[in-house]
């Protein structure tokens, strides 16, 4: 069974992961409205991935004989000034999530919860990938700008995510 402090923190993280999915779905809607279907697809897949992360935490709490308590999810923003602004917000958000995961790991360390530490290691590694992906897209968007042929090509490339 999880100690109460860690259980409460993981329940909060479930909410945070669901919010991440909600945020990325809002970003997908923004891209759809902006006629950038590849960016929209990329964000929609990102939203689904965040849902999976929430369910990993959800299942873990139950596997440890503890109780999930779902919390209200805030409404995400709906509009951005540009694709670059969307991905700058994405990077900032992923950095925030990294900090939240690190705090969970610290709680697991404090409580000598080795099983939680092992589970959280997966999320720590996942956050390295999440930040790297967002950083690369931000850098590319800074090079290509918000309009023109290069943006269209980038839209096509991002639309290929998950098509492997």
pLDDT in tens, 94-130: 999 999 999 999 999 999 999 999 999 999 999 999 9
Averaged pLDDT for residues 142-164: 84
Mean pLDDT of the chain: 95
| Per-domain boundaries in the chain | 4-159
pLDDT in tens, 129-138: 999 999 999 9
- What pTM was computed for the model? 0.93
- Cβ–Cβ under 8 Å, residues 20 and 55: no
The CATH code of domain 4-159 reads 1.20.1260.10
> What token pair was written down for 157?
């490339």
Averaged pLDDT for residues 49-57: 98
CA triple 16-31-149, angle to 5 deg? 135
Spatial separation of the C-alpha atoms in residues 100 and 134, rounded to whole Å: 18
Distances (CA, A) of 60 to 2, 36, 52, 57, 162: 10, 37, 12, 5, 26
């Amino acid at each position: 069974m999880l100690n109460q402090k860690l259980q409460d923190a993981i329940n909060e993280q479930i909410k945070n992961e669901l919010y991440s999915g909600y945020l990325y779905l809002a970003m997908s809607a923004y891209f759809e409205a902006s006629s950038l279907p590849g960016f929209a697809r990329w964000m929609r897949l990102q939203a689904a991935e965040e849902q999976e992360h929430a369910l990993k935490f959800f299942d873990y709490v139950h596997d440890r004989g503890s109780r999930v308590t779902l919390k209200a999810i805030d409404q995400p923003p709906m509009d951005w000034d540009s694709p670059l602004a969307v991905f700058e917000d994405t990077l900032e958000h992923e950095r925030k999530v990294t900090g939240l995961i690190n705090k969970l790991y610290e709680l697991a360390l404090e409580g000598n919860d080795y099983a939680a530490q092992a589970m959280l290691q997966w999320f720590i590694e996942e956050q390295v990938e999440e930040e790297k992906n967002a950083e690369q897209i931000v850098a590319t968007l800074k090079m290509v700008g918000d309009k023109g042929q290069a943006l269209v090509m980038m839209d096509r490339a991002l639309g290929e995510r998950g098509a492997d």
